[in-house]
Structure 1
Amino acid sequence: MAKRWTNDLTAADVTPEALFWNRRKLLAGMAGAGLGSIAGGAVAEEGLATNTWEEVTSYCNFYEFGTGKEDPSYYAGAMTTSPWSVEIDGLVDNPGSYGFEQILEAMTLEERIYRFRCVEAWSMVIPWQGFELADLLALAGVQDGAKYVAFETLLRPDEMPGVRYPVIDWPYREGLRLDEAMNPLTIMATGIFGKPLPNQNGAPLRLVVPWKYGFKSIKSVVKITLTDQEPPTSWNMANAREYGFYSNVNPNVNHPRWSQASERKIGGGLFAKRQPTLMFNGYEAEVASLYEGMDLAKHF
């Protein structure tokens, strides 16, 4: 399971931890002050370092716990994450239930820090702890006929109040083409900023695909299926016009409701200039060949 990719980002490139956790609160506060068009993080640089871990992890999306930004941190503590297992089935040689500790033991020599660029309405560099998805799939033994990898999030209504409402067709589902899944940039994350993943951020195991938009990074994964058919994905099922199966960062294709051509860097200052959004979020050299010959405006 030798590594096939070398990170060119260093610790100096990492977005300060407090700015990362508070990114949405910063933007919301600026909008309330009439500064909604000016993204960034400098407005809070004076005081964020004193915020507690609970405060800075309390604003995120995890609809299984509610659609409010603070619902996940309020309710996710009820989610049981130990013991945890991931069912791997479909076109594999060794289908079965793989315990989280079993997975970690198998990945001990492979687990490391991945510093990845992330882009939403802003840009960041995030240090994830984890291991390549390809190494996990190797444990199961991918069969020749497999073309796609499907993922499912935990569905536990007694611990997840949000699933009582038909926000999407539960359980939450995502999918990748097999070559995307096997790319060394595609990881299963177990921690962030040197700490285990908080429940509201996808504990204990979540997908991270750094050249795609964040909603592709499915949280709290309990099932992985190898298949020869393109799997259904939750946001594509809910609104195919806005969310394509591939969901690559492509600045040349606008979201139906906003431009994706430029971004601002978190922490770059209140009046930081917008910078061009990079194709594939800056990982073009590593992943562009996966889509050679495809119309990326059609297959968005």
Structure 2
Amino acid sequence: MQAVAAAPQPTTTLASGAESWPFTVERSTPSIGAEISDIDLRKPLDDDTYLALRRALVKYKVLFFRDQDVTPAQHVAFARRFGELEIHPVFRHHPDHPELVMFDKSGENRGRENIYHSDVSWRELPAMAAILRCVECPEVGGDTIWVNMAQAYANLPEDVKTRIADLRAVHDIIPTFSVAIAPEKFEEIRRNFPPVTHPVVRTHPESGEKILYVNEAFVTHLANYSQVTGFRIGSDFRLGELDLLQYLYRQAAAPEYQVRLKWRPNTIAVWDNRSTHHYAVQDYFPAVRRMMRATVIGDKPV
């Protein structure tokens, strides 16, 4: 994978008081999301604008940009400003830019992303951010929902926070992607991407927020549930583990933590993959919905 220079890191935090932005910011909901205007993503970002965008991303968790008619090369260049880009092992890539994943949904290829998830949490180093551009979409339908998982954690009852503080979850690529993996590639994918464990509660490396970091697309079980919580008799611990996981998964579905985007062509969404889940609503079949996504490699959750 091509190495890139390290992106400059922001020097202010969420606690630094009122922000001054070199672009226009309009909040989408009280809990998550902001629409950014007066910026042209076709042009290279200077350091001040990049750092401001990164601060806004950490603060609002997903940023929306309208009317950004970027080329695939410009899309990659903008995404690379945030860090090194991954190449997805399963999804179809752009022929000239392997960093760009192609989502081409229609009557011939129905979407399957209608599940709350955090991208590539099955990697040892899950994504820091993703940059998704709408190429073509239905007149209505095909919206995407993002969820503030820091707020989902903050609002958990204190006894639940205590229960999950030391738990670790197992994330696996296979259960969700097995239908898309060619049989001859299955063993290679399994060998290259074994299950990984991440903390159920991770700490955001820039904001310091605690984040509920389990998702129903990729988490298969809790690695240390019985060691941490114990059990009453026999295999009763397994039922307790499943009940707890279902309770944690359901937190993402609370509308109070969500923002919903109606796509238009040349809309770009940039989200902090560390602190959010998202859900692509599959209500548009058999209409056409075409998207391109670049994904920024992140750090090991702690």
Query: Is the pair's TM-score, using the shorter chain for normalization, greater than 0.5?
Result: no
Normalising by structure 1, we get a TM-score of 0.28
Normalising by structure 2, we get a TM-score of 0.28
